Structure 1
Protein backbone atom coordinates (compact mmCIF):
# COMPACT_ATOMS: atom_id res chain seq x y z
CA UNK A 1 0.00 0.00 0.00
CA UNK A 2 1.26 3.47 -0.93
CA UNK A 3 0.26 6.23 1.50
CA UNK A 4 0.52 10.03 1.41
CA UNK A 5 0.15 12.27 4.46
CA UNK A 6 -0.10 16.07 4.30
CA UNK A 7 0.71 18.52 7.06
CA UNK A 8 3.33 20.66 8.76
CA UNK A 9 6.47 19.34 10.38
CA UNK A 10 7.77 21.62 13.10
CA UNK A 11 10.73 22.06 15.37
CA UNK A 12 9.93 20.75 18.84
CA UNK A 13 11.81 22.43 21.69
CA UNK A 14 11.42 20.69 25.04
CA UNK A 15 13.19 20.79 28.40
CA UNK A 16 15.00 17.60 29.37
CA UNK A 17 13.26 15.16 31.68
CA UNK A 18 10.18 16.82 33.22
CA UNK A 19 11.65 20.25 33.90
CA UNK A 20 9.53 23.35 33.37
CA UNK A 21 10.52 26.18 31.02
CA UNK A 22 11.46 28.38 33.97
CA UNK A 23 13.68 25.67 35.46
CA UNK A 24 16.06 25.11 32.56
CA UNK A 25 18.42 26.89 30.18
CA UNK A 26 18.63 23.92 27.78
CA UNK A 27 16.00 22.67 25.34
CA UNK A 28 16.03 19.42 23.35
CA UNK A 29 15.64 20.03 19.61
CA UNK A 30 13.67 17.50 17.54
CA UNK A 31 11.08 17.53 14.75
CA UNK A 32 7.42 16.50 14.92
CA UNK A 33 3.91 17.08 13.67
CA UNK A 34 0.65 15.12 13.52
CA UNK A 35 0.80 13.85 9.95
CA UNK A 36 4.60 13.62 9.95
CA UNK A 37 4.39 11.35 13.00
CA UNK A 38 1.85 9.16 11.20
CA UNK A 39 4.17 8.94 8.19
CA UNK A 40 7.09 7.86 10.38
CA UNK A 41 4.95 5.27 12.19
CA UNK A 42 3.73 3.80 8.90
CA UNK A 43 7.27 3.69 7.53
CA UNK A 44 8.37 1.83 10.67
CA UNK A 45 5.64 -0.73 9.94
CA UNK A 46 7.04 -1.17 6.44
CA UNK A 47 4.54 0.91 4.48
CA UNK A 48 5.52 2.92 1.40
CA UNK A 49 4.68 6.40 2.68
CA UNK A 50 5.36 9.94 1.46
CA UNK A 51 4.97 13.13 3.47
CA UNK A 52 3.86 16.33 1.75
CA UNK A 53 4.58 19.79 3.15
CA UNK A 54 6.45 23.01 2.39
CA UNK A 55 9.79 23.71 4.04
CA UNK A 56 12.43 26.43 3.56
CA UNK A 57 15.45 25.58 1.43
CA UNK A 58 17.88 26.58 4.19
CA UNK A 59 19.68 24.24 6.61
CA UNK A 60 16.92 24.16 9.23
CA UNK A 61 14.38 23.12 6.59
CA UNK A 62 16.79 20.50 5.29
CA UNK A 63 17.23 19.13 8.80
CA UNK A 64 13.46 18.58 8.89
CA UNK A 65 13.63 16.69 5.60
CA UNK A 66 16.50 14.59 6.93
CA UNK A 67 14.55 13.82 10.12
CA UNK A 68 11.93 12.12 7.94
CA UNK A 69 14.38 10.40 5.60
CA UNK A 70 16.14 8.65 8.45
CA UNK A 71 12.97 6.62 9.05
CA UNK A 72 12.42 5.77 5.38
CA UNK A 73 9.72 8.36 4.64
CA UNK A 74 9.62 9.52 1.00
CA UNK A 75 10.38 13.26 1.00
CA UNK A 76 10.47 13.76 -2.78
CA UNK A 77 7.04 15.46 -2.79
CA UNK A 78 8.05 18.18 -0.30
CA UNK A 79 7.96 21.70 -1.75
CA UNK A 80 10.89 23.94 -0.83
CA UNK A 81 10.43 27.64 -0.17
CA UNK A 82 9.37 30.18 2.44
CA UNK A 83 11.43 31.64 5.25
CA UNK A 84 10.79 29.73 8.44
CA UNK A 85 9.99 26.37 10.01
CA UNK A 86 7.16 26.35 12.54
CA UNK A 87 8.16 25.85 16.18
CA UNK A 88 6.36 24.49 19.20
CA UNK A 89 7.63 24.56 22.76
CA UNK A 90 6.55 21.58 24.82
CA UNK A 91 6.73 21.24 28.58
CA UNK A 92 6.21 17.59 29.45
CA UNK A 93 3.74 16.99 32.25
CA UNK A 94 4.52 15.05 35.42
CA UNK A 95 2.12 13.39 37.84
CA UNK A 96 -0.89 15.71 38.20
CA UNK A 97 0.72 18.53 36.23
CA UNK A 98 -0.38 18.47 32.61
CA UNK A 99 1.82 19.15 29.60
CA UNK A 100 2.07 22.68 28.18
CA UNK A 101 2.33 23.43 24.45
CA UNK A 102 3.15 26.90 23.11
CA UNK A 103 3.02 27.46 19.34
CA UNK A 104 5.32 29.74 17.35
CA UNK A 105 4.24 28.80 13.84
CA UNK A 106 2.71 31.95 12.34
CA UNK A 107 4.04 32.66 8.82
CA UNK A 108 5.88 29.36 8.60
CA UNK A 109 6.48 28.02 5.09
CA UNK A 110 3.47 25.71 5.33
CA UNK A 111 1.20 28.29 6.98
CA UNK A 112 1.86 30.70 4.09
CA UNK A 113 1.70 28.04 1.35
CA UNK A 114 -0.85 28.11 -1.49
CA UNK A 115 -2.50 25.48 -3.66
CA UNK A 116 -0.08 26.43 -6.46
CA UNK A 117 2.81 25.06 -4.37
CA UNK A 118 1.63 21.45 -4.85
CA UNK A 119 1.03 19.29 -7.93
CA UNK A 120 -1.56 17.01 -6.37
CA UNK A 121 -2.26 15.11 -9.59
CA UNK A 122 1.37 14.00 -9.62
CA UNK A 123 1.44 13.46 -5.86
CA UNK A 124 -1.51 11.04 -5.91
CA UNK A 125 -0.46 9.08 -8.97
CA UNK A 126 -0.38 5.39 -7.94
CA UNK A 127 -1.31 6.18 -4.32
CA UNK A 128 -3.76 4.03 -2.33
CA UNK A 129 -4.39 6.10 0.81
CA UNK A 130 -4.32 9.77 1.86
CA UNK A 131 -4.29 10.94 5.48
CA UNK A 132 -4.54 14.39 7.03
CA UNK A 133 -5.75 15.86 10.34
CA UNK A 134 -7.76 18.85 11.49
CA UNK A 135 -4.55 20.50 12.65
CA UNK A 136 -3.44 21.34 9.11
CA UNK A 137 -6.48 23.29 7.84
CA UNK A 138 -6.44 25.15 11.17
CA UNK A 139 -3.32 27.00 9.96
CA UNK A 140 -5.45 29.35 7.85
CA UNK A 141 -8.01 29.69 5.05
CA UNK A 142 -5.27 29.19 2.44
CA UNK A 143 -4.36 25.84 4.01
CA UNK A 144 -8.04 24.85 4.09
CA UNK A 145 -7.95 25.35 0.31
CA UNK A 146 -4.78 23.24 0.08
CA UNK A 147 -6.46 20.40 1.98
CA UNK A 148 -9.58 20.72 -0.17
CA UNK A 149 -7.53 20.58 -3.38
CA UNK A 150 -5.69 17.54 -2.03
CA UNK A 151 -8.97 15.76 -1.19
CA UNK A 152 -10.44 16.47 -4.62
CA UNK A 153 -7.31 15.22 -6.39
CA UNK A 154 -7.17 12.12 -4.18
CA UNK A 155 -10.79 11.28 -5.01
CA UNK A 156 -10.13 11.81 -8.72
CA UNK A 157 -7.36 9.21 -8.45
CA UNK A 158 -9.51 6.72 -6.53
CA UNK A 159 -7.56 7.18 -3.29
CA UNK A 160 -9.09 6.36 0.10
CA UNK A 161 -9.03 9.30 2.50
CA UNK A 162 -8.76 9.27 6.30
CA UNK A 163 -8.93 12.26 8.62
CA UNK A 164 -8.28 12.65 12.34
CA UNK A 165 -10.46 15.57 13.49
CA UNK A 166 -7.88 16.56 16.13
CA UNK A 167 -9.34 19.93 17.12
CA UNK A 168 -6.79 22.50 18.33
CA UNK A 169 -8.42 25.40 20.14
CA UNK A 170 -5.14 27.36 20.08
CA UNK A 171 -5.27 27.52 16.28
CA UNK A 172 -8.91 28.27 15.45
CA UNK A 173 -12.40 28.57 16.87
CA UNK A 174 -15.03 25.85 16.95
CA UNK A 175 -17.04 27.80 14.37
CA UNK A 176 -14.07 28.01 12.00
CA UNK A 177 -13.35 24.32 12.49
CA UNK A 178 -16.95 23.33 11.83
CA UNK A 179 -17.14 25.34 8.61
CA UNK A 180 -13.87 24.01 7.22
CA UNK A 181 -14.15 20.40 8.38
CA UNK A 182 -17.73 20.13 7.10
CA UNK A 183 -16.40 20.83 3.59
CA UNK A 184 -13.40 18.52 3.91
CA UNK A 185 -15.27 15.61 5.49
CA UNK A 186 -17.46 15.30 2.39
CA UNK A 187 -14.44 13.61 0.80
CA UNK A 188 -13.37 11.49 3.79
CA UNK A 189 -13.87 7.71 3.90
CA UNK A 190 -12.51 7.00 7.38
CA UNK A 191 -12.99 9.48 10.24
CA UNK A 192 -10.87 9.22 13.38
CA UNK A 193 -12.07 11.12 16.42
CA UNK A 194 -12.56 11.14 20.15
CA UNK A 195 -15.54 12.26 22.17
CA UNK A 196 -14.15 15.76 22.73
CA UNK A 197 -13.27 16.44 19.08
CA UNK A 198 -16.68 15.26 17.86
CA UNK A 199 -18.33 17.75 20.22
CA UNK A 200 -15.93 20.63 19.58
CA UNK A 201 -16.02 20.37 15.79
CA UNK A 202 -19.53 19.14 15.01
CA UNK A 203 -21.48 19.49 18.26
CA UNK A 204 -22.01 15.73 18.37
CA UNK A 205 -22.12 14.31 21.90
CA UNK A 206 -22.10 10.87 23.46
CA UNK A 207 -25.33 10.20 25.32
CA UNK A 208 -25.25 10.46 29.14
CA UNK A 209 -21.66 11.69 28.98
CA UNK A 210 -19.96 14.80 30.33
CA UNK A 211 -16.47 14.90 28.84
CA UNK A 212 -15.40 17.78 31.09
CA UNK A 213 -16.58 16.12 34.30
CA UNK A 214 -15.09 12.75 33.37
CA UNK A 215 -18.47 11.02 33.24
CA UNK A 216 -18.18 8.38 30.52
CA UNK A 217 -20.91 6.26 28.96
CA UNK A 218 -19.19 3.75 26.71
CA UNK A 219 -22.38 2.82 24.87
CA UNK A 220 -22.81 6.49 23.96
CA UNK A 221 -19.83 6.31 21.63
CA UNK A 222 -21.74 4.05 19.29
CA UNK A 223 -24.19 6.93 18.96
CA UNK A 224 -21.33 9.37 18.22
CA UNK A 225 -19.96 7.09 15.52
CA UNK A 226 -23.41 6.64 13.97
CA UNK A 227 -24.11 10.39 13.99
CA UNK A 228 -20.78 11.09 12.30
CA UNK A 229 -21.35 8.35 9.72
CA UNK A 230 -24.91 9.49 9.01
CA UNK A 231 -23.86 13.11 8.61
CA UNK A 232 -20.96 12.52 6.21
CA UNK A 233 -21.53 8.97 4.91
CA UNK A 234 -18.16 7.77 6.21
CA UNK A 235 -17.34 4.14 5.47
CA UNK A 236 -15.80 3.75 8.92
CA UNK A 237 -15.52 5.81 12.10
CA UNK A 238 -12.84 5.16 14.71
CA UNK A 239 -13.67 6.57 18.14
CA UNK A 240 -10.75 6.71 20.56
CA UNK A 241 -11.52 6.54 24.26
CA UNK A 242 -8.87 7.61 26.77
CA UNK A 243 -8.86 6.66 30.43
CA UNK A 244 -7.05 8.33 33.31
Structure 2
Protein backbone atom coordinates (compact mmCIF):
# COMPACT_ATOMS: atom_id res chain seq x y z
CA UNK A 1 0.00 0.00 0.00
CA UNK A 2 0.99 3.67 -0.15
CA UNK A 3 3.01 5.93 2.13
CA UNK A 4 0.64 8.73 3.18
CA UNK A 5 1.96 11.76 5.08
CA UNK A 6 -0.24 14.29 6.88
CA UNK A 7 0.76 17.54 8.63
CA UNK A 8 -1.23 19.22 11.36
CA UNK A 9 -2.22 19.51 14.99
CA UNK A 10 -3.52 16.68 17.11
CA UNK A 11 -5.50 17.95 20.07
CA UNK A 12 -7.35 16.54 23.02
CA UNK A 13 -11.12 16.91 22.89
CA UNK A 14 -12.85 17.31 26.26
CA UNK A 15 -16.50 16.32 26.03
CA UNK A 16 -19.34 15.82 28.51
CA UNK A 17 -20.99 12.42 28.52
CA UNK A 18 -23.78 11.93 26.03
CA UNK A 19 -25.64 15.12 25.17
CA UNK A 20 -24.92 16.86 28.47
CA UNK A 21 -24.24 20.58 28.27
CA UNK A 22 -20.94 22.09 29.40
CA UNK A 23 -22.56 23.89 32.31
CA UNK A 24 -24.20 20.77 33.73
CA UNK A 25 -21.37 18.25 33.55
CA UNK A 26 -18.75 17.41 36.15
CA UNK A 27 -16.94 14.85 33.96
CA UNK A 28 -15.10 15.36 30.66
CA UNK A 29 -13.96 12.49 28.44
CA UNK A 30 -10.54 12.88 26.81
CA UNK A 31 -10.74 12.15 23.07
CA UNK A 32 -7.62 12.69 20.92
CA UNK A 33 -8.16 13.97 17.41
CA UNK A 34 -7.54 16.65 14.82
CA UNK A 35 -8.07 17.08 11.09
CA UNK A 36 -4.90 15.53 9.74
CA UNK A 37 -4.58 13.02 12.57
CA UNK A 38 -8.07 11.77 11.73
CA UNK A 39 -7.08 11.35 8.08
CA UNK A 40 -3.93 9.46 9.07
CA UNK A 41 -5.93 7.03 11.23
CA UNK A 42 -8.35 6.37 8.38
CA UNK A 43 -5.51 5.66 5.96
CA UNK A 44 -3.83 3.35 8.48
CA UNK A 45 -7.12 1.47 8.91
CA UNK A 46 -7.22 0.92 5.14
CA UNK A 47 -3.75 -0.62 5.21
CA UNK A 48 -1.57 2.32 4.19
CA UNK A 49 1.71 3.35 5.82
CA UNK A 50 0.32 6.51 7.41
CA UNK A 51 2.33 9.25 9.14
CA UNK A 52 1.32 12.33 11.12
CA UNK A 53 3.86 15.15 11.19
CA UNK A 54 3.35 17.41 14.18
CA UNK A 55 4.98 18.63 17.39
CA UNK A 56 3.91 17.62 20.87
CA UNK A 57 5.28 18.30 24.36
CA UNK A 58 7.57 15.63 25.80
CA UNK A 59 5.43 15.30 28.94
CA UNK A 60 2.73 12.74 29.63
CA UNK A 61 -0.13 14.79 28.20
CA UNK A 62 1.67 14.92 24.88
CA UNK A 63 2.21 11.18 25.14
CA UNK A 64 -1.54 10.63 25.36
CA UNK A 65 -1.83 11.95 21.80
CA UNK A 66 1.15 9.94 20.55
CA UNK A 67 -0.18 6.74 22.09
CA UNK A 68 -3.61 7.22 20.51
CA UNK A 69 -2.03 7.39 17.05
CA UNK A 70 0.11 4.32 17.67
CA UNK A 71 -2.92 2.41 18.89
CA UNK A 72 -4.50 2.70 15.46
CA UNK A 73 -1.38 2.04 13.43
CA UNK A 74 -0.19 5.56 12.57
CA UNK A 75 3.59 5.94 12.32
CA UNK A 76 4.81 8.59 14.79
CA UNK A 77 8.45 8.66 13.63
CA UNK A 78 8.25 12.25 12.41
CA UNK A 79 6.57 13.75 15.47
CA UNK A 80 8.88 16.33 17.04
CA UNK A 81 8.82 16.55 20.82
CA UNK A 82 8.99 19.83 22.69
CA UNK A 83 6.98 22.92 23.50
CA UNK A 84 4.76 23.55 26.48
CA UNK A 85 1.24 22.46 25.71
CA UNK A 86 -1.14 20.27 23.76
CA UNK A 87 -4.00 22.10 22.09
CA UNK A 88 -7.38 21.46 23.67
CA UNK A 89 -10.93 21.89 22.51
CA UNK A 90 -14.21 21.38 24.29
CA UNK A 91 -17.08 19.83 22.35
CA UNK A 92 -20.69 19.70 23.46
CA UNK A 93 -22.75 17.24 21.42
CA UNK A 94 -26.03 18.66 20.18
CA UNK A 95 -29.37 16.96 19.69
CA UNK A 96 -32.37 17.65 17.47
CA UNK A 97 -32.56 21.43 16.90
CA UNK A 98 -29.74 22.20 19.38
CA UNK A 99 -26.40 22.29 17.52
CA UNK A 100 -23.12 20.94 18.76
CA UNK A 101 -20.72 23.56 20.11
CA UNK A 102 -16.93 23.81 20.08
CA UNK A 103 -14.76 26.01 22.31
CA UNK A 104 -11.04 26.14 21.47
CA UNK A 105 -8.18 26.33 23.95
CA UNK A 106 -5.30 25.81 21.52
CA UNK A 107 -3.31 29.05 21.53
CA UNK A 108 0.48 28.60 21.86
CA UNK A 109 0.35 24.85 21.37
CA UNK A 110 3.58 23.05 20.48
CA UNK A 111 2.84 22.81 16.75
CA UNK A 112 1.65 26.43 16.58
CA UNK A 113 5.09 27.51 17.83
CA UNK A 114 7.15 24.91 15.93
CA UNK A 115 10.08 26.05 13.77
CA UNK A 116 11.30 24.75 10.38
CA UNK A 117 14.36 23.17 11.99
CA UNK A 118 12.02 20.83 13.93
CA UNK A 119 11.35 18.88 10.70
CA UNK A 120 13.39 17.53 7.80
CA UNK A 121 10.68 17.66 5.16
CA UNK A 122 12.86 16.16 2.44
CA UNK A 123 13.47 13.10 4.61
CA UNK A 124 9.78 12.97 5.51
CA UNK A 125 8.66 13.08 1.87
CA UNK A 126 11.22 10.55 0.65
CA UNK A 127 9.31 7.60 -0.80
CA UNK A 128 5.92 9.15 -0.05
CA UNK A 129 2.99 8.70 -2.41
CA UNK A 130 0.59 11.22 -0.92
CA UNK A 131 0.74 14.34 1.28
CA UNK A 132 -2.39 15.75 2.90
CA UNK A 133 -2.97 18.93 4.87
CA UNK A 134 -5.95 21.08 5.74
CA UNK A 135 -6.71 24.77 6.04
CA UNK A 136 -6.73 24.37 9.81
CA UNK A 137 -2.95 24.02 9.92
CA UNK A 138 -1.96 27.40 8.43
CA UNK A 139 -4.81 28.99 10.41
CA UNK A 140 -3.37 28.13 13.82
CA UNK A 141 -0.32 30.43 13.48
CA UNK A 142 1.93 32.18 10.99
CA UNK A 143 4.67 29.69 11.90
CA UNK A 144 2.39 26.79 11.06
CA UNK A 145 1.53 28.46 7.75
CA UNK A 146 5.24 28.60 6.90
CA UNK A 147 5.63 24.92 7.83
CA UNK A 148 2.75 24.08 5.51
CA UNK A 149 4.45 25.86 2.62
CA UNK A 150 7.79 24.15 3.30
CA UNK A 151 6.10 20.73 3.44
CA UNK A 152 4.27 21.38 0.16
CA UNK A 153 7.50 22.46 -1.53
CA UNK A 154 9.25 19.30 -0.35
CA UNK A 155 6.34 17.17 -1.53
CA UNK A 156 6.58 18.66 -5.01
CA UNK A 157 10.36 18.11 -5.11
CA UNK A 158 9.73 14.43 -4.42
CA UNK A 159 6.86 14.02 -6.88
CA UNK A 160 4.26 13.45 -4.17
CA UNK A 161 0.55 13.95 -4.84
CA UNK A 162 -0.77 16.75 -2.59
CA UNK A 163 -4.34 17.09 -1.32
CA UNK A 164 -5.93 19.81 0.77
CA UNK A 165 -9.16 19.93 2.73
CA UNK A 166 -9.89 23.67 2.79
CA UNK A 167 -11.58 23.40 6.20
CA UNK A 168 -12.30 27.06 7.02
CA UNK A 169 -12.56 27.74 10.77
CA UNK A 170 -13.97 31.17 11.59
CA UNK A 171 -12.79 30.92 15.20
CA UNK A 172 -9.17 30.72 13.98
CA UNK A 173 -8.97 33.39 11.25
CA UNK A 174 -10.92 35.72 8.99
CA UNK A 175 -11.85 35.01 5.41
CA UNK A 176 -9.53 37.80 4.27
CA UNK A 177 -6.56 36.24 6.07
CA UNK A 178 -7.51 32.78 4.83
CA UNK A 179 -7.66 33.89 1.20
CA UNK A 180 -4.29 35.67 1.48
CA UNK A 181 -2.61 32.50 2.78
CA UNK A 182 -4.54 29.73 1.06
CA UNK A 183 -4.66 30.96 -2.53
CA UNK A 184 -0.84 31.02 -2.92
CA UNK A 185 -0.64 27.51 -1.45
CA UNK A 186 -2.98 26.14 -4.11
CA UNK A 187 -0.09 26.05 -6.63
CA UNK A 188 1.15 22.91 -4.86
CA UNK A 189 -2.24 21.14 -4.69
CA UNK A 190 -3.41 18.30 -6.94
CA UNK A 191 -6.66 17.38 -5.16
CA UNK A 192 -8.81 20.13 -3.61
CA UNK A 193 -11.50 19.08 -1.14
CA UNK A 194 -14.00 21.40 0.49
CA UNK A 195 -17.61 22.26 0.99
CA UNK A 196 -19.43 25.34 -0.26
CA UNK A 197 -18.42 27.51 2.72
CA UNK A 198 -14.77 26.51 2.43
CA UNK A 199 -14.58 27.34 -1.28
CA UNK A 200 -16.02 30.80 -0.69
CA UNK A 201 -14.19 31.79 2.50
CA UNK A 202 -10.78 30.26 1.66
CA UNK A 203 -10.60 30.83 -2.10
CA UNK A 204 -13.33 33.31 -2.98
CA UNK A 205 -15.57 30.98 -5.03
CA UNK A 206 -19.29 30.89 -4.25
CA UNK A 207 -21.52 28.10 -5.60
CA UNK A 208 -25.00 28.74 -6.91
CA UNK A 209 -26.72 26.77 -4.15
CA UNK A 210 -28.86 27.63 -1.12
CA UNK A 211 -27.12 25.33 1.34
CA UNK A 212 -28.70 26.89 4.43
CA UNK A 213 -32.08 26.21 2.83
CA UNK A 214 -31.15 22.57 2.25
CA UNK A 215 -30.70 22.94 -1.51
CA UNK A 216 -27.51 21.10 -2.53
CA UNK A 217 -28.19 20.45 -6.19
CA UNK A 218 -24.83 19.45 -7.62
CA UNK A 219 -25.44 21.57 -10.71
CA UNK A 220 -24.88 24.67 -8.59
CA UNK A 221 -21.30 23.60 -7.98
CA UNK A 222 -20.26 22.77 -11.54
CA UNK A 223 -19.44 26.34 -12.49
CA UNK A 224 -17.08 27.00 -9.61
CA UNK A 225 -15.46 23.57 -9.98
CA UNK A 226 -14.55 24.51 -13.55
CA UNK A 227 -13.29 27.93 -12.44
CA UNK A 228 -11.18 26.46 -9.63
CA UNK A 229 -9.64 23.83 -11.88
CA UNK A 230 -8.87 26.39 -14.57
CA UNK A 231 -7.29 28.87 -12.14
CA UNK A 232 -5.25 26.47 -10.01
CA UNK A 233 -4.73 23.45 -12.27
CA UNK A 234 -6.17 20.90 -9.82
CA UNK A 235 -6.39 17.30 -11.02
CA UNK A 236 -9.58 16.84 -9.02
CA UNK A 237 -12.01 19.22 -7.34
CA UNK A 238 -14.23 17.59 -4.74
CA UNK A 239 -17.01 18.78 -2.45
CA UNK A 240 -19.14 17.14 0.17
CA UNK A 241 -22.82 18.15 0.07
CA UNK A 242 -24.41 18.12 3.52
CA UNK A 243 -28.13 18.65 4.08
CA UNK A 244 -28.48 19.50 7.76
CA UNK A 245 -32.03 18.94 8.93
CA UNK A 246 -31.03 18.81 12.60
CA UNK A 247 -28.00 18.04 14.76
CA UNK A 248 -28.86 14.35 14.54
CA UNK A 249 -30.28 14.02 11.00
CA UNK A 250 -28.27 14.87 7.86
CA UNK A 251 -28.36 14.05 4.19
CA UNK A 252 -24.86 13.28 2.85
CA UNK A 253 -23.40 12.99 -0.65
CA UNK A 254 -20.49 14.37 -2.66
CA UNK A 255 -19.37 15.58 -6.08
CA UNK A 256 -16.05 15.17 -7.93
CA UNK A 257 -14.71 16.74 -11.14
CA UNK A 258 -11.60 15.70 -13.06
CA UNK A 259 -11.75 18.28 -15.82
CA UNK A 260 -13.68 15.98 -18.13
CA UNK A 261 -16.78 14.87 -16.28
CA UNK A 262 -18.67 15.39 -13.05
CA UNK A 263 -19.66 12.46 -10.87
CA UNK A 264 -22.23 12.71 -8.09
CA UNK A 265 -22.31 10.01 -5.43
CA UNK A 266 -25.30 8.22 -4.01
CA UNK A 267 -26.99 10.02 -1.12
CA UNK A 268 -27.13 8.73 2.44
CA UNK A 269 -29.60 9.71 5.14
CA UNK A 270 -27.77 9.57 8.46
CA UNK A 271 -30.20 9.39 11.37
CA UNK A 272 -29.40 9.38 14.18
CA UNK A 273 -25.93 10.90 14.04
CA UNK A 274 -23.82 9.65 16.93
CA UNK A 275 -20.86 12.02 16.43
CA UNK A 276 -20.29 14.18 13.36
CA UNK A 277 -16.89 15.52 14.48
CA UNK A 278 -14.33 14.18 12.03
CA UNK A 279 -16.93 13.49 9.35
CA UNK A 280 -15.15 15.61 6.77
CA UNK A 281 -11.77 14.15 7.69
CA UNK A 282 -13.13 10.63 7.25
CA UNK A 283 -14.27 11.68 3.79
CA UNK A 284 -10.76 12.93 2.96
CA UNK A 285 -9.18 9.72 4.23
CA UNK A 286 -11.62 7.64 2.20
CA UNK A 287 -11.01 9.74 -0.91
CA UNK A 288 -7.23 9.37 -0.61
CA UNK A 289 -7.62 5.59 -0.35
CA UNK A 290 -10.09 5.58 -3.23
CA UNK A 291 -7.93 7.62 -5.58
CA UNK A 292 -4.91 5.47 -4.72
CA UNK A 293 -6.66 2.13 -5.27
CA UNK A 294 -9.74 2.52 -7.48
CA UNK A 295 -9.87 2.63 -11.26
CA UNK A 296 -12.32 5.52 -11.61
CA UNK A 297 -13.09 8.77 -9.82
CA UNK A 298 -16.65 7.53 -9.31
CA UNK A 299 -15.51 4.45 -7.42
CA UNK A 300 -13.14 6.57 -5.34
CA UNK A 301 -15.92 9.01 -4.44
CA UNK A 302 -18.39 6.28 -3.51
CA UNK A 303 -15.82 4.80 -1.13
CA UNK A 304 -15.20 8.20 0.46
CA UNK A 305 -18.89 9.00 0.96
CA UNK A 306 -19.63 5.58 2.42
CA UNK A 307 -16.64 5.85 4.76
CA UNK A 308 -17.75 9.24 6.03
CA UNK A 309 -21.37 8.12 6.43
CA UNK A 310 -20.11 5.34 8.70
CA UNK A 311 -18.01 7.79 10.71
CA UNK A 312 -21.15 9.66 11.75
CA UNK A 313 -22.17 6.50 13.66
CA UNK A 314 -18.96 6.32 15.72
CA UNK A 315 -18.03 8.23 18.88
CA UNK A 316 -14.78 10.17 18.82
CA UNK A 317 -12.80 11.94 16.11
CA UNK A 318 -11.36 8.84 14.44
CA UNK A 319 -13.18 6.77 11.83
CA UNK A 320 -12.67 3.26 13.18
CA UNK A 321 -13.76 1.20 10.17
CA UNK A 322 -11.82 -1.00 7.78
CA UNK A 323 -11.97 -1.08 4.01
CA UNK A 324 -14.23 -4.14 3.82
CA UNK A 325 -16.86 -2.46 6.01
CA UNK A 326 -16.81 0.59 3.78
CA UNK A 327 -17.00 -1.53 0.63
CA UNK A 328 -20.05 -3.32 2.05
CA UNK A 329 -21.93 -0.07 2.58
CA UNK A 330 -20.83 1.38 -0.76
CA UNK A 331 -22.11 -1.82 -2.36
CA UNK A 332 -25.58 -1.31 -0.89
CA UNK A 333 -25.50 -3.23 2.38
CA UNK A 334 -27.05 -0.63 4.69
CA UNK A 335 -29.53 -2.73 6.69
CA UNK A 336 -27.42 -2.77 9.88
CA UNK A 337 -28.10 -6.45 10.56
CA UNK A 338 -25.96 -8.09 13.22
CA UNK A 339 -22.83 -9.66 11.71
CA UNK A 340 -22.56 -13.21 13.07
- Classify the TM-score, shorter chain: over 0.9
How far apart are residue 217 of structure 1 and its match? 3.5
1:242 paired to 2:242 = yes
How far apart are residue 116 of structure 1 and its match? 1.6
Alignment partner of 1:241: what SS?
strand
How far apart are residue 213 of structure 1 and its match? 4.0
How far apart are residue 203 of structure 1 and its match? 2.0
Q: How does 1:204-243 map to 2 (within 5 A)?
A: 204-207=205-208, 209-243=209-243
1:98-125 C-alpha deviation (Å, 9 max, x unpaired): 0100000000001111212111011011
Gaps of 5+ in 2: 245-340
CA separation in 2, counterparts of 1:168 and 1:115?
A: 24
How far apart are residue 216 of structure 1 and its match? 3.5
The aligned counterpart of 2:204 is 203
| Conserved 8 A contact 2:216-2:241 | no
1:62-118 C-alpha deviation (Å, 9 max, x unpaired): 111000000010001000000100000000111111010000000000111121211
CA separation in 2, counterparts of 1:85 and 1:39?
A: 18
1:136 paired to 2:165 = no
1:139-186 C-alpha deviation (Å, 9 max, x unpaired): 111111000000000000010000000000000000110011111111
The aligned counterpart of 2:71 is 70
CA separation in 1, counterparts of 2:115 and 2:211?
A: 37
Q: What is the number of residues matched between the two proteins?
A: 243
Gaps of 5+ in 1: none
CA separation in 1, counterparts of 2:91 and 2:201?
A: 23
Q: TM-score, normalised by structure 2?
A: 0.70
Q: Tell me how large the CA RMSD over aligned residues is.
A: 1.0
1:29-85 C-alpha deviation (Å, 9 max, x unpaired): 110000000000111111111110000000111111000000010001000000100
Alignment partner of 1:57: what SS?
coil
Q: TM-score, normalised by structure 1?
A: 0.97
1:79 paired to 2:75 = no
| Conserved 8 A contact 2:53-2:79 | yes
Alignment partner of 1:50: what SS?
strand
Alignment partner of 1:62: what SS?
helix
| Conserved 8 A contact 1:193-1:238 | yes
Alignment partner of 1:73: what SS?
coil
How far apart are residue 205 of structure 1 and its match? 1.4
CA separation in 1, counterparts of 2:64 and 2:16?
A: 20
The aligned counterpart of 2:125 is 124
The aligned counterpart of 1:60 is 61
Alignment partner of 1:234: what SS?
coil
The aligned counterpart of 1:42 is 43
How far apart are residue 218 of structure 1 and its match? 2.3
CA separation in 2, counterparts of 1:188 and 1:45?
A: 23
| Conserved 8 A contact 2:216-2:243 | no
How far apart are residue 224 of structure 1 and its match? 2.1
The aligned counterpart of 1:89 is 90
